[in-house]
Amino acid sequence: MSSEVEKVIIIGGACAGLTAAIYTSRARLNPLLFTGSMFGGQLMMTTDVENFPGFPEGIQGPELMERMRQQAERFGTRIVYEEVTRVDFSSRPFRVWAGEKEYLAHSVIIATGAKPRTLGLESEEKLLGKGVSYCAVCDGAFFKDADVVVVGGGDSAMEEALHLTQHARSVTVIHRRDKLRASKIMQERAFANPKISFVWDSVVEEILDVSKGRVTGVRVRNRKTGEEKEISCEGVFIAIGHEPNTEIFKGQVELDSRGYIKVRDFVKTSVEGVFAAGDVHDHRFRQAVTASAFGCMAALECERYLSEKGII
């Protein structure tokens, strides 16, 4: 166990966590940040980020994260590339376990983000990496001139579909309703792309073919007519939203029915001195820039808390 009590531990090394690190390190709180298994979070699976202010030509997701990391380290953030496996917020100082070690902290900023939601099919799990993917940017190039399917109707699904048209011969979007949830501009782009077609009101019942050990198609059911049909394809990209990474915080801070951390005053959790920033509580906006904004708010509130408690 480390006997030193950190002023602040930040859990999560993507937009929210790194922004919190930039602010808390500039406030001379000497933050200790754990990246978890995925430094940079979801932006590491993205190519062009066109809507992060300050980059009129766009910037690659991994490059943006690398720049945030450098900016955080410039002011003294200590970054540990380990996963936090357990926390105890029931007494003070707070306790945080990562790797073999236990760490103590006067305050904690949780910025663990969210991960892709799954369809929950056995065939999906068995064919993961054998044609089933949650990231077109990561795996799209494996599907050159292939027929692929995208499941979902939100911005992520449109983004995946549009990206896949760079590689695939055809992209079929399967959506469970007859209207997309995606923003107008993404809808327009998808509708205008001749490689993209839509199967409406339909859900994927099974991904084929587990017995062959690779994706050969999907069996879909029309929710209105009950009709079932098979669509042949070599790849299935699932883009149906995300789930918060809050497993280790169950019983430690209050969560809502979907597992997101409940906050008041933007970033305060049910435990005084523990703050939450980004997709781990924000299921509404989920943008890089909003995650960063929450990271900033958490850092400022954290500094205020430490000062009020006489710790700094």
Q: Which residues are catalytic, by number?
A: 135, 138-139
Residues 231-250 that bind ligand NAP (CB under 6 A): 240-242
Q: Which amino acid is at 91?
A: S
Does 119 engage in binding with ligand NAP (CB under 6 A)?
yes
Q: How far is the CB of 287 from ligand NAP (least distance, A)?
A: 6
Q: How far apart, in whole angstroms, are the C-alpha atoms of residue 244 and residue 252?
A: 15
Residues 1-60 that bind ligand NAP (CB under 6 A): none
Does 176 engage in binding with ligand NAP (CB under 6 A)?
yes
Does 124 engage in binding with ligand NAP (CB under 6 A)?
no
Residue nearest to ligand NAP (CB): 154
Q: How far apart, in whole angstroms, are the C-alpha atoms of residue 130 and residue 34?
A: 31
Backbone angles phi, psi at 103, to 5 degrees: -120, 150
The three-class DSSP label of residue 132 is: strand
Residue with Cβ nearer ligand NAP (75 or 200) = 200
Number of residues that bind ligand NAP (CB under 6 A): 19
Q: How far apart, in whole angstroms, are the C-alpha atoms of residue 118 and residue 122?
A: 11
Among 177, 224, 229, 262, binds ligand NAP (CB under 6 A): 177
Residue with Cβ nearer ligand NAP (159 or 303) = 159
Residue with Cβ nearer ligand NAP (40 or 273) = 40
Does 207 engage in binding with ligand NAP (CB under 6 A)?
no
Q: Which residues contact 77 (CB under 8 A, 6 or more apart)?
A: 21, 22, 24, 25, 31, 32, 33
Residue with Cβ nearer ligand NAP (27 or 204) = 204
Q: Which residues contact 16 (CB under 8 A, 6 or more apart)?
A: 111, 113, 277, 278, 279, 280, 291, 292, 294, 295, 298
Does 147 engage in binding with ligand NAP (CB under 6 A)?
no
CB 132 within 8 A of CB 207: yes
Among 112, 123, 156, 269, binds ligand NAP (CB under 6 A): 156
Strands lying side by side in the sheet with 196-199: 132-133, 235-238, 147-151, 170-174, 196-199
Does 259 engage in binding with ligand NAP (CB under 6 A)?
no
Residues 178-197 that bind ligand NAP (CB under 6 A): 181, 183
Q: Which residues contact 234 (CB under 8 A, 6 or more apart)?
A: 131, 143, 146, 147, 148, 214, 215, 216
Tokens 């991994």 label which residue?
Answer: 62
Does 223 engage in binding with ligand NAP (CB under 6 A)?
no
Q: How far is the CB of 291 from ligand NAP (least distance, A)?
A: 11
Q: For the chain, what's the residue count?
A: 312
Residue with Cβ nearer ligand NAP (289 or 300) = 289
Residue ranges that bind ligand NAP, judged by CB under 6 A: 117, 119, 151-157, 159, 176-177, 181, 183, 203, 240-242, 286
